[in-house]
Amino acid sequence: MKKIFTLLMFTILVSCNLNNSKQEAVEVSTLNASDGVYNIENETSYITWTGREVSTSYHYGTINFASGQFELSGGLISTGEFIVDMSTIKNDDLPTDFAKNRLETHLKSDDFFSVESYPTAKISILDSELISDGKWLVSGELTIKSYTHPIQFEIINSMDGWKADLVFDRSMYDIQFRSGTFFEKLGDKMIYDDIELEINLKTL
C-alpha cells in the first residue's frame, strides 16, 4: 500500500511539473518595428509594480508615466528616456480605500520613495542588442531619488504594445524600510529588496 501511495504521489508531481512547463512555454508573439522615434501615450502606458515579503505575502499596483520616447535606428533601440510620475503610485490589491491610502502614503514617504523631494524617477536606454525579430536586450540606467544604477532588461513589440519586465534592487537606492540589507533579525517582517516591474507602453 505504501508503495502504491508513493507511486501515486510521484505521478501527481510529475503531472504538475509537466503542466507548469507547458504554461511557461507560452510566449507572446512579437512584431517587427520600423526605424524611427516612438513617443508613448501617457494615458494608456503604465508600470505594474510588485513587492514581496519573506512571509510570501505581497502587494502590487501601478505607476504612470509623465513622458517617454525611444528611437529605433538600424533595427536597434538606440536611445530612450522615460519619466515616471512617482506621485501616481497606486495599490491595487488591498480591499478597502483606507488600507490602499495608507500603503500609498507610506510608499510615497521617506521610508520608501521620498516623493515630495523626488517626484519623478527615470528609465534611460543607452543601447540594445537584437535577440530576435521584435525582441531586444536593452542596456540602460534607472534613476530613483538621487541614485542612478545600470540596468538590463528585455523588451518586445507585440500586438498589445511594447512590453518589458524589469527587476531592481531597492537597497541600491537607499530604500531601507524592513530591508535585510540594512537590518538584522526582521524575521517574517522582512520585505525583499527586489521590486518587480512590468512595463506596458502604447505608442502614438
Asked whether the beta carbons of 161 and 68 are under 8 A apart, the reply is no
Task: Indicate whether 154 pLDDT > 90.
Answer: yes
pTM over 0.75: yes
| Amino acid 204: pLDDT | 93
Is the model's pLDDT at 66 over the cut of 50? yes
pLDDT in tens, 161-183: 999 999 999 999 999 999 999 99
Please state, in angstroms and rounded to a whole number, the distance separating the CA atoms of residues 69 and 21.
36
All 3 cell numbers of residue 177? 524600510
Which tens digits make up the pLDDT trace of 95-143? 999 999 999 999 999 999 999 999 999 999 999 999 999 999 999 999 9
Domains, the chain, ordered by start: 31-201 (2.40.128.110)
Per-residue confidence (pLDDT) for residue 28, from 0 to 100: 76
The predicted-structure confidence for 178-201, as pLDDT tens digits, reads as follows 999 999 999 999 999 999 999 999
Q: What span, in angstroms and rounded, lies between the C-alpha atoms of 130 and 32? A: 11
pLDDT at position 6 is 38
CA distance 183 to 2: 47
Q: Residue 56 — pLDDT band, cuts 50, 70, 90?
A: confident
The rounded distance, in Å, linking the Cα atoms of 196 and 194 is 6
Nearest to 123 by CA among 160, 155, 100: 155
Q: What is the pLDDT of residue 113?
A: 98
Nearest to 41 by CA among 82, 86, 96, 88: 82
Cell of 188: 517574517
Determine the average pLDDT of the residues in 39-66: 96
Element (H, E) at 98: helix 97-108
Q: What is the pLDDT of residues 71-92, one digit of tens each?
A: 999 999 999 999 999 999 999 9
Half-sphere exposure of 31 (CA within 13 A, CB side): 9
For 127, residues 6+ apart whose C-beta sits below 8 A from its C-beta are 76, 77, 78, 138, 139
